[in-house]
Amino acid sequence: MTAIASAIASAVGGRRAALWAAVVFVLLCAASLSVGVAGLSDGAPLELLLVSRLPRTAAAILVGAGLAIAGLVMQILARNRFVDASIAGTEQSAALGILLATAVWPAASVAGKMAVAAAAALAGTALFLVLVRRLPPTEPFLMPLFGIVYGGVIAAGVTFVAWQMDLLQLLETWLNGDLSGILRGRYELLWGVGVMVVLVWWLADALTIASLGRDTGTGLGLDYERMMQVGLVIVSVLAALTVVVVGMVPFVGLIVPNIVSRLRGDNLRGALPWVAAGGAGLTLACDVLGRLLRYPYEVPLGTVLGVVGAAAFLWLVRGGRARG
């Protein structure tokens, strides 16, 4: 296991790795643009590309990059490698926010719902972070376990409210992420992910220092509390953007930062592009897979990532044990 990991690590050293990653990424984009029920050869191919395939591909890239970055920041906030926005209740809280906004304020614009979702995500994540402070730091796996229960409770609350409000038919669109409904005009909010990624890039050194802990960070002149607040906003906005546009997508934020940490280290200035690209690549690959598995029908992105992600999580946990 370790031998394989180090072989991979040496193979992905520096520029060569970037080149290979770029090739894989371009191939994934090409696959995403060409796979679908409507063939590119019949009808109006350009129209199909512009209205459906390109937006869908862009959405997969933005969602994936955003969730991977959100996971990375979440791990620094929680001081635990085994959480992300789908495990800490952030995405579930965002879904609750959208549901409440839809019920109370049906005429709200997408941006308005997004604001309510972000506020709900912030509250839900802040509560999670307060609650996990009581967990012993010597037992890192208690936090994801607690998070799964916490997220489950919020998701149950979402279902209950939806049932009360007679909105059950909409529920699936938020609780299980799906890119099949993405068309031009329905995903543009996701460009907000780009803004967040740039913000995180700008904060990369401060975030790395924050990940060294409160004492070391403070000693180096970092305003640790402020950093935590900014991180909380970043995670909440990224999760809310994703849930509003495509619905909940699990595991990307958990798997990608852990793999990148093993291969590229923890200096975020160097690791961030890999985290963003890794999240985008994983999401694109899972979306294409979902389109091919039961062709011509589709398996939703959330379902594919649920299976792929759970397997990868188990592998990570085993690897984490083996490396101590």
Partner 1 sequence: MIAIDGVSLTLQGTPILHDVSATLPKGELIALIGPNGAGKSSLLSLVARLIPLQSGRITVDGLPVDRTPGRRLARTLTIMRQDTGLAARLTVRELVGFGRFPHSRGRLTDEDRRHIAAALAEFDLTELAGRTLDALSGGQRQRAFVAMAFCQGTDYLLLDEPLNNLDMMYGRQMMRILRHLVDRQGRTVVIVLHDINYAAAYADRIVAMKDGRIIASGPPDAVLTTDGLEAMYGYRMPVHRIGDRLFIPHHD
Phi/psi of residue 279, each to 5°?
-65, -45
Cβ-based nearer residue to partner 1, 95 or 222:
222
Task: Based on the shown chain and the rule CB under 8 A, indicate whether residue 273 belongs to the binding site for partner 1.
Answer: no
Minimum separation from the CB atom of position 215 to partner 1 (A): 5
CA–CA gap between residue 254 and residue 309 (Å, rounded): 8
Cβ-based nearer residue to partner 1, 34 or 267:
267
Sketch the per residue contact string, 71 through 110, with partner 1: x for CB under 8 A, - otherwise. ----xx--xxx-----------------------------
> Quick one: which of 225, 21, 243, 30 has its CA closest to 116?
243
Distance of CA 92 to the CA centre of its chain: 13
Would you say 109 and 129 are in contact if contact means Cβ atoms under 8 Å apart? no
Cβ-based nearer residue to partner 1, 129 or 179:
129
Cβ-based nearer residue to partner 1, 185 or 221:
221
CA–CA gap between residue 172 and residue 180 (Å, rounded): 13
Task: Based on the shown chain and the rule CB under 8 A, indicate whether residue 6 belongs to the binding site for partner 1.
Answer: no
Minimum separation from the CB atom of position 138 to partner 1 (A): 14
Task: Based on the shown chain and the rule CB under 8 A, indicate whether residue 223 belongs to the binding site for partner 1.
Answer: yes
Task: Based on the shown chain and the rule CB under 8 A, indicate whether residue 261 belongs to the binding site for partner 1.
Answer: yes
Task: Based on the shown chain and the rule CB under 8 A, indicate whether residue 176 belongs to the binding site for partner 1.
Answer: no
Burial-class residue 202 by CB neighbours within 10 Å (0-12, 13-18, 19+).
exposed
Task: Based on the shown chain and the rule CB under 8 A, indicate whether residue 214 belongs to the binding site for partner 1.
Answer: yes
Would you say 267 and 156 are in contact if contact means Cβ atoms under 8 Å apart? no
Phi/psi of residue 3, each to 5°?
-60, -45
Which segment (91-99, 164-172, 221-229, 231-239) binds partner 1 by CB under 8 A? 221-229
Longest dimension (CA), the chain: 64
In the complex, the residues that contact partner 1 under the rule CB under 8 A are 75-76, 79-81, 204-206, 208-209, 211-216, 218-223, 261-262, 265-267, 269, 323
